[in-house]
Amino acid sequence: MIKRGYYKRIWTDFDAEKHLVLVSGPRQAGKTTLAKDIASREPSSLYFNYDIPANKVKILQNPTFFEEVDREKGTLPLIILDEIHKYRDWKNYLKGIYDGYSDEFRFLATGSGRLELSRKKGDSLAGRYLHFHLYPFTVGELPASSTGIDDKDVLLEIPEQNRKAQEAWETMFHVSGFPEPFLKGTKMKYRRWAKSYHSQVIRDDIRDEYAVRQVDTMEALYFLLSECVGNPFSCSNHARILKISHKTVSSWISVFERFFLIFKLRPYSRRISRSLVKEPKIYFYDYCRIEDHALRFENMVAVELSRAVTLWTDFGLGEYDLWYLRNKEKEEVDFLVTERGKPQFMVEAKLSDTTISPSLMKFQNALGVPAIQLVNTPNVARKIRNASNTIIVASAPNWLACLN
């Protein structure tokens, strides 16, 4: 069984800081498994899942049902509230139990919708909780024992060959990083899993929360998006194809984001002459639904980088963001990581081409930050001069495994 490494710091490091921790992420990314694993180490705990009908009745009839848990003297019981975002008044509920019981209990709440965005009505939880995100498996997570880059010079170093990361990467390339298909490891198992996964999220989770009437059209939009990876996304084109309004397409894209089906990257425009400023790119958490191998590889790198910057921000290491670079001449670099808006490093994803991208060199000269070109070919490890700068060309899993 794969242990989720530093994700357990969600509890061990921050339990004493706040007695309410929220964990959100894609459906079936492992939130329940992680929560139960944390609970197994506690002297006293209670697991509650809102998807279980009997639990729904319990919270409606007795909102403070958790008081019934047996406890050991001198300990604060851990109460796990799984999928609590589906409870209509979840924000007010968490606010109430935190204000009334945070000196007697600790609460770990999980959700497959974005807990900070879902159901905007209700009192704010600001200042009452810590929020973390759980991603499907990534090679940056699996070998890691810590979170964050202690020494940013690692970005300029040739990475070591990492056999475990390479093996994990090859498996992910065919079956994704979602725990169920990843651990089974076969394309057949992945196809069975994927066939129901996306439909369940759209037809069950999203339709239940937003009462979507045109669910077939929404599903069609979602499947059309897999053809858009790697290019700036236009709502207008898809609105025309599906014969719906631009506003509807934009709204549905936001819903897909909230339920962790996709994530968007926007173009970075500071210090970039003639930069694009509006059109985002779209990437999937389940990248194996993308047929084109070059685009799938780019999407995999996007997930790895997104996981890194999100966790660095969650753990208070800085305010990190992920962007892409593109100007009006259509020169482009796939990814740029910033901290408080300041560029830190850029990454180009090439399936097999080890020749340095001219755009990568140009944008590096403009921003003056480390640049890395990742390839989906084993045993590549090069360092190349670009005027006063350096560009690393490396096999993707080896370099990404260092990106704790």
Q: What is the pLDDT of residues 312-345, one digit of tens each?
A: 998 888 999 999 999 888 899 999 999 999 999 9
Joined tokens for residue 178? 């979602």
Q: What angle do CA 347, 386, 322 make, to 5 degrees?
A: 20
Q: Residue 194: which pLDDT band, with cuts at 50, 70 and 90?
A: very high
Distances (CA, A) of 225 to 106, 222, 239, 311: 40, 5, 12, 26
Structural Rg of the chain based on CA atoms: 22
Supply the pLDDT for residue 60: 93
Q: What angle do CA 246, 250, 254 make, to 5 degrees?
A: 170
User: Is 80 exceeded by the pLDDT of residue 125?
Assistant: no
Residue 109, φ and ψ in degrees, nearest 5:
-110, 135
| Domains defined along the chain, listed by start | 5-133 (3.40.50.300), 152-400 (no CATH)
User: Is 60 exceeded by the pLDDT of residue 63?
Assistant: yes
Q: What is the pLDDT of residues 127-186, one digit of tens each?
A: 788 889 999 999 988 765 555 555 566 777 899 999 999 999 999 999 999 999 999 999
Contact 184, 191 (CB under 8 A): no
Supply the pLDDT for residue 211: 78
Supply the pLDDT for residue 118: 47
Q: What is the 3-state secondary structure (H, E, C) of 358-397?
A: HHHHHHHHHHCCCEEEEECCCCCEEEEEECCEEEEEEEHH
The rounded distance, in Å, linking the Cα atoms of 253 and 202 is: 12
Which residues lie closer than 8 Å to 41 by C-beta, 6 or more apart? none
Distances (CA, A) of 162 to 51, 167, 236, 396: 40, 9, 44, 10
Supply the pLDDT for residue 30: 93
pTM summary value: 0.92
**What average pLDDT does the segment 289-299 reach?**
97
- Label the pairing between strands 332-339 and 342-350: antiparallel
> Of 247, 181, 162, 253, nearest to 30 (Cα)?
181
Q: Chain-wide mean pLDDT for the chain?
A: 88
User: Is 80 exceeded by the pLDDT of residue 282?
Assistant: yes
Supply the pLDDT for residue 119: 43
The rounded distance, in Å, linking the Cα atoms of 289 and 223 is: 9
* Number of continuous H segments (helices) and E segments (strands) in the chain: 14, 13
Supply the pLDDT for residue 62: 96
Residue at 33: amino acid letter:
T
**What average pLDDT does the segment 372-379 reach?**
97
> Of 78, 88, 67, 81, nearest to 16 (Cα)?
78
Instruction: Tell me which DSSP letter residue 135 carries.
Output: P
Supply the pLDDT for residue 89: 87
Supply the pLDDT for residue 58: 94
**What average pLDDT does the segment 58-73 reach?**
93
Q: What is the pLDDT of residues 5-58, one digit of tens each?
A: 556 666 665 556 678 999 999 999 999 999 998 899 899 999 999 999 999 999
Residue 87, φ and ψ in degrees, nearest 5:
-75, 125
Q: What is the pLDDT of residues 244-268, one digit of tens each?
A: 999 999 999 999 999 999 999 999 9
DSSP codes joined into one string, 17-69 = T-SEEEEE-STTSSHHHHHHHHHHTSSSEEEEETTSHHHHHHHHH-TTGGGGS
What percent of the chain has pLDDT above 70?
88
CB neighbourhood size of 241 (10 A)? 12
Contact 96, 46 (CB under 8 A): no
User: Is 60 exceeded by the pLDDT of residue 90?
Assistant: yes
State the virtual CA torsion across 283, 189, 136, 28 in degrees, nearest 10: 100
**What average pLDDT does the segment 360-364 reach?**
96
Which residues lie closer than 8 Å to 224 by C-beta, 6 or more apart? 238, 241, 242
The rounded distance, in Å, linking the Cα atoms of 83 and 113 is: 8
Distances (CA, A) of 91 to 57, 86, 116: 18, 10, 9
Instruction: Tell me which DSSP letter residue 352 carries.
Output: S
Supply the pLDDT for residue 106: 93
Which residues are bridge partners to 26 per DSSP? none
Helices 235-242 and 246-258, axial angle in degrees (round to 10): 110
- Label the pairing between strands 106-111 and 20-24: parallel
With H, G, I as helix, E, B as strand and everything else as coil, classify residue 168: helix
Q: Residue 230: which pLDDT band, with cuts at 50, 70 and 90?
A: confident
The rounded distance, in Å, linking the Cα atoms of 169 and 138 is: 8
Supply the pLDDT for residue 127: 72
User: Is 70 exceeded by the pLDDT of residue 121?
Assistant: no
**Cβ-count burial of 14 within 10 angstroms (0-12 exposed, 13-18 middle, 19+ buried)?**
middle
With H, G, I as helix, E, B as strand and everything else as coil, classify residue 204: helix
Q: b/e string for 243-263 if b means 16 or more Cβ within 10 A? A: ebeeebbeebbebbebbbbbb
